[in-house]
Structure 1
Amino acid sequence: MTENGGSIARSASPARTFNVDLNASGQVHTGVQAWFKILHDNYFPLDVKIGRDFRSGLLTRVDIGNIRACTLKTDPMLTERRASRAMPDGRDFYVVEIPREASVRVAQRGREAIVRPGGFTVVNGAEGYTFETAQHNEVRTLRIPCRSLRARLPSLDDWVATTCDSSQPLVALFLDFAASYGQHGPALLPAHHERLEQQLLDLLAMALLGADDISSETSVRSAHRQRALRAIEQHFCDPALDPSGIARAVGVSERYLQKIFSERQETISATIRERRILEAKRLLANRAQLRLSVTQIAYAVGFSDPAWFSRVFRQATGVSPARYEGDTP
């Protein structure tokens, strides 16, 4: 394994390159382990599987503010992220996957996308997912803190493992900006980095929204739903949160807001409950490190009755909170 470049600064860093070449090293096992470590260190813990055709991999990385832009050149491989490895301290990330040479397969939340060059998809690194390239490929990625994207798009998980194609103008605009982001970003003054980051996130949100089929909703209803999801994201840990409170936060009647959610076969109560269960799963998967009991976790995610939390959790996952160890892809 070789590494070139300088030290990492919080606001920006020069490009750094990491690579393995099994043909040159002659030590296949050592080289493969080195490649696994490169992916682990530059993204997050992943289970990596490679086939007989894997001979080399190269990763170039640039950190600009909170966003890490990477270009990955790799022989065929399969990577899997397990939810049990999600970070306990808010350091989870979304990853934008942009294939350049060949299609990739991405699966998450029961969905599977085949993403071709000229498109992109997003995965939530806090949950289990699968990424596979069946042939040599170049893939550009953007690793973005979950909190940064959810602040703009609380319902972002509606789009994970779906394909956004550059035939749509907003997607093409985002891809063009992303391509130059890693190239020119480090050369800008540090004072410009935050503004550049905000523009990238805005374009990504616009690309995702533009790619979504919202024919059943007017733009006004879509905006109301987004505000409701943002309110849920901000307050789901409050046990007093209920549909009427969400409607008041949005500034519409509860009946009207329920109708907006029903158009997607959703309810406000179920959405609040699902968000609480998702957070409970994250905490339970890390409760040994966090030193939290099941009862403490129930209260932490907004359940006022631990017994009711256990029943709801079992209904959602098929296991009790005490036996939960994390999802697998």
Structure 2
Amino acid sequence: MFPALRFDIADLPEHRRLDGLISAIDECFYPCETLMSSRVLTDDRLTVVDVGPIRAGRVRADPMVVHRTPRLIRRRVGDYLFVPVPLQHKVHLRQRGREAEIDGSCFGFTATAESYSYEQPEKFEMITLRIDADQVRSRVPHVEDLTATGFPALGGAGAMFLDYARSFCINAERLDRPTGMFAVRHLLDLFALAVTSGDHVPGPAESAVREAHRQRILRHVEAHLADPSLSTQSVAQDLRLSDRYIQKLLSEREQTLSGLIRDRRVSEARRLLVDPTNRGRSISTIAFQVGYADPAYFSRVFREAVGLSPRDYRNRERVRPDGDAAGRQAGRRSGLPALPPPGGED
């Protein structure tokens, strides 16, 4: 069975309820600036359950506005996707200049590594998924480009995902480990299918066909990240698209292919540098792994993007306290029971 972390505002005296709820939200999800529309709270409850890389939640709460700010992001408490699924009323998501209104007819998500805002204007009940972002990136490269987007859920892949997500959150606490990890893999696959099916609500400069091509480009970049010859020309040739069309597709999101390749290589290098299994690997080896034949050039690119050399970054991250562990300690200080460290996907 998977243990649950619970919070019920009725367990606290009235003068501690507001601070208690805000602390519980930070502990159950991740640190945010939470503004409640009322200081009189009577029926707010949270339950979360860790099933491998997914934290499934059930929430009843008063109206609120939540901001994930750069100051809080710098605390580096995990890298997640947050998927709210309201069981009544609506929520509003804003990220990367986009806005989506989420209700029973569609779903959306935000990425916690970037600033966003979330608004719930009425008292609400919902289920939530907090998913380790790397688990989704392996299925949907650059999934962050789809945040604060409405994905229809009245049929097709979106409906399948939401039906499964509701059942998963309701039953997570009662699953045995083999069943839970089996369910996690299916949930992640359904989520990936739902956000890449081309069914999302199109914007004025976007169509399902263009988004399908764009996802082909992103997947190709991800699959060939270690190839030093990866370039706009090679991508165009392999995908049988023109250079100009590729750049036009990406410019709609204020991107360039060369910038996208660089950002993904730096991001992957950051991951490899702090991975304990790579402790004995040299900076040059990691440079080759992310497609840089010249380690000196890799170091210059990395420093420009991160502000530290690869070596200094690795040394700094080795001594940084683990964010999730620190969060669990904070939970114990606030009186909430602690969950065990989350496990990875089997």
Q: TM-score, normalised by structure 2?
A: 0.67
Give unpaired runs (5+ residues) of structure 1. 1-11, 283-298, 312-329
Q: 1:78 to 1:89 in 2, by over 3 A?
A: closer
User: For the Cα contact (< 8 Å) 1:216–1:263, is it kept in 2?
Assistant: no
> Residue 269 of structure 1 is aligned with which of 254, 258, 268?
258
Higher RCO (CA 8 Å, separation ≥ 6 residues)? 2
Q: 1:147 to 1:25 in 2, by over 3 A?
A: same
Map residues 221-236 of structure 1 onto 2, 5 A cutoff.
221=213, 224-231=216-223
Counterpart residue identity of residue 19, structure 1: D
Counterpart residue identity of residue 252, structure 1: D
| Identical-residue share of aligned pairs (%) | 25
> Residue 38 of structure 1 is aligned with which of 21, 24, 27?
24
CA distance in 1, matches of 2:121, 2:299: 44
Aligned residue for 1:285?
none
Q: CA deviation at 1:178?
A: 0.4
Map residues 1-329 of structure 1 onto 2, 5 A cutoff.
13-21=2-10, 25-27=13-15, 30-52=16-38, 54-56=40-42, 57-86=44-73, 91-210=78-197, 211-212=199-200, 213=202, 214-217=207-210, 221=213, 224-231=216-223, 242-243=230-231, 247=235, 252=238, 256=242, 259-265=245-251, 266-275=255-264, 302=298, 304=300
SS at match of 1:304: helix
SS at match of 2:209: coil
User: For the Cα contact (< 8 Å) 2:95–2:147, is it kept in 1?
Assistant: yes
Q: 1:92 to 1:256 in 2, by over 3 A?
A: same
Counterpart residue identity of residue 218, structure 2: Q
CA distance in 2, matches of 1:68, 1:300: 41
> Can you list the C-alpha shifts for 1:201-256, whole angstroms capped at 9, x where unaligned?
1100111112235533496x456313224247x55xx9x67516963xx9817974
User: For the Cα contact (< 8 Å) 2:35–2:66, is it kept in 1?
Assistant: yes
Q: TM-score, normalised by structure 1?
A: 0.70
Q: 1:307 to 1:138 in 2, by over 3 A?
A: closer
CA distance in 2, matches of 1:192, 1:209: 26
User: For the Cα contact (< 8 Å) 2:5–2:48, is it kept in 1?
Assistant: yes
Q: 1:279 to 1:185 in 2, by over 3 A?
A: same
Aligned residue for 1:9?
none
CA distance in 2, matches of 1:154, 1:258: 22
Superposed CA RMSD in Å reads 3.7
User: For the Cα contact (< 8 Å) 1:120–1:164, is it kept in 2?
Assistant: yes
Q: 1:231 to 1:69 in 2, by over 3 A?
A: same
